[in-house]
Every structure is written in C-alpha cells, then in structure tokens.
Amino acid sequence: MADPIIAGLGVVALMGAAATIAGAAEDLESDTGSMSNPNSQVQLAPQMGNLHRIFNKAVSGEPVQMGSWAGIAGSIAFVLLSLNLPAVMAIAGGAAVAALVHAAFATSSHLGRIVSVSKFKQPLFLDVVTEHLGPIAGHGFIVTFTIVGVSYLMTLPIQGLAHPFPLPMLAVLWGITIGAIGSSTGDIHYGGEREYQQYPFGGGIPVRIHGDITRRAELGARNSLDAVNFCAKYGGPVTGFCFGSIVFFSFWSTVVGGIFGSISGAILPGNSDTNTALAVGTGILLIIIILIIIINNRMEVFARNKYGPYLK
C-alpha cells in the first residue's frame, strides 16, 4: 500500500492534467461557435450590412452552458456507476449523451439567430451547420469527460480529497467554473484579435466599427474553424494553463496540509487533524495567491518598460 500522501499527490497531478486539457478544449469549443463576447458582434454584423458564414452559437453564457453539459454527463455517469460499470466507461457514456444534447442546442441556436436577422438578407447556410457541429460536439465531449473525471477523482476516499458532495452536484459546480474561466481568459484572443483583424490591434473596438467583423479569410469566406485554428496556438493553451493551475494548486495545498495535520495530531493529543490540515492548506494557498499577484505585477511592469509607453 502506497503512502496516502503520495497517492493523494498522484491523484492531484492527474486532476491538474485533466483540468488543463478541459480548459484548452473549453476555450476552443467556445471559439468554434463564436460564443460569449465575440457573439454579440457576429449577431450585429448582418444588421450593419456585413453578411457572413460564421457559426452563431448563442446557447447562453459559457458558465451556464458548461454547467449544464457537465451536469448531464455527471448525472448519467452517476447512474452508470450505480450499475457497477468501470469509471472510465461510465464517464465516457455520460459525456457522449452530453455531446448529443450539446449538438442539438448548438444547431437550434444557429438556426434561431440567423433566421431572426432574415430582414437583412442573411442566408441560412446549411453547410456552416454541418461543418461546425463535429468540432463543437467533439471539444464539448473532451471538456465534459475531463470535468466529470476531475469531479469523480474528488469523491475518491483519499486523504485531502473524499469530497462529501454527490457526483452530479460537483460536476455542475466544476462545469460553471470552467465556463467562467474559459470565458474570462480565452475570449480576448478571439474577440479582440481575430474578429477585428482588418483593424490595427491594440486600438480597442470603437463603436463606429461595431459589427464590421472580418468576414473573408486567406482564401474565400472565413468560417469559425479558422478562428479555432488561430486560437489553438495561444488562447486555448493559456486557458488550459489557467484552469489547470487553479485545480492543481487548490488540491495540492489541502493534500500537503494533510502532512501537517498528522504531525499536529501526534504533538498535541486531542487536536483535530482535519482542522489543522485545512488551516495549513488555506495558509499555503494564500501564499501562492500573493506570489501570483506579485508575478503578474512584475510581468506587466516588464512589458511596459520593454515595449515602451503607449502612444497617444
């Protein structure tokens, strides 16, 4: 039998890896459908006379969307686990059902939004729907599989983990979290850079260019797959790194706190192991947060000094 702390650290490393993949896939999935911030501009484009061939996946904000899909996958996995299926198969089954629901919602939102601007002669291109559904459902499958995987690992009876919440609830909570991270970290790389590529970067998006999105690609009309190809180089990985480090550090600190818990129990009889573990874990987490704030500040100061003051 392995040392429980070592086993816990191993599981936490696996959770961090799964979360990194989930973050990257979530951002790329939202770019495929031009969700969240870029979406309002895609919606506005036909009204400003700019017809396009971009997928308009207005399902909702990313947190609600990913919470729903991860919740569906988690609940189905919960049912399949109660049938004594192996965990990997159960989670894959849940994620497969969630992917089907995802594809149905994506189709209805594109049809709905495009038809609602028919006044401006925006055609409904059916190949846009069929072309994008695969990448949308596929990326969604990866996200729900890894998110339910992280939630399942959290419920395992390991010191520092063993969460008392049931799997469907944890899946919903983590789904909402990944949606929020994907929306806040990843979107700038599509919304600010790629969607307004014909304008100089860094100038913001003034009201007069609203709706004038880049509609032509290197060859032919631009579609949302071009945006994914662009974002996969930086926006997706950076989102994955962000979410992966959040998951890794928050669980790493509680597992490491567990070491101090057992020590304090030995020194002071009657002292609760769990409370000490939680207190030390939270302390470590606070130090990590302060360090990250300092690193961010240093990085921004370095960038400003290196690339000069902003021009007026």
Partner 1 sequence: MANEKGWGPNSVDKRKTLAFGVVGGLAGIYLTPINPIIGPVLAALGAVCAIVWGADAISRVSSYGLGTGVPSIGYMSLAFSLVGALSGVSIAVYLGPHYTWLGPILGFVIAMLVGAIVAGLCLTVLRMKIPILMRCTIELAGAAALSVLGFSAAIAGSYALPNLLHSVIIPGYIALFFILNTMAIQHPFNACLGPNENRTRTLKLAFTTAFMVTGIVGLIAYPFTPAWWVIALVGGIGWYISVSAFIAASKEEAAEVKWTGWWPHDEEEFVQSVKEIKE
Give residues in contact with partner 1 (CB under 8 A).
Answer: 40, 43, 47, 51-53, 58-61, 64-65, 67-68, 71-72, 74-76, 78-79, 82, 97, 101, 104-105, 108-109, 111-127, 165-170, 172-173, 175-176, 221
Write down the least CB distance from residue 252 to partner 1, Å.
25
The amino acid that residue 101 corresponds to is V
Q: Are 38 and 190 in contact (CB under 8 A)?
A: yes
CA–CA gap between residue 252 and residue 162 (Å, rounded): 14
User: Between residues 187 and 238, which has the closer beta carbon with respect to partner 1?
Assistant: 187
Nearer to partner 1, 99 or 238 (CB): 99
Q: Least CB distance from residue 105 to partner 1, whole Å? A: 7
User: CB of 63: closest distance to partner 1 in angstroms?
Assistant: 9
Residue type, 155: T
How far is residue 279's CA from residue 219's CA, in Å, rounded to a whole number?
58
Nearer to partner 1, 115 or 263 (CB): 115
Question: Rounded distance, CA 285 to CA 195, Å?
Answer: 37
| Nearest CB to partner 1, comparing residues 59 and 256 | 59
Closer CB to partner 1, residue 128 or residue 256?
128
Question: Of 288, 226, 224, 305, which is closest to residue 253 (Cα–Cα)?
Answer: 288
189 and 235 Cβ atoms separated by less than 8 Å: yes
3-state secondary structure 203-257: CCCCHHHCCCCCCECCCCECCHHHHHHHHCCCHHHHHHHHHHHHHHHHHHHHHHH
Residue 271 CB, shortest distance to partner 1, in Å, is 32
Count CB atoms within 10 A of the CB of residue 146.
27
Q: How far is the CB of 294 from partner 1 (least distance, A)?
A: 34
- Residue 87 CB, nearest approach to partner 1 (Å): 17
CB neighbour class for 226 (10 Å; exposed up to 12, middle 13-18, buried from 19): middle
Give the nearer residue to partner 1 in terms of CB position, either 20 or 212.
212
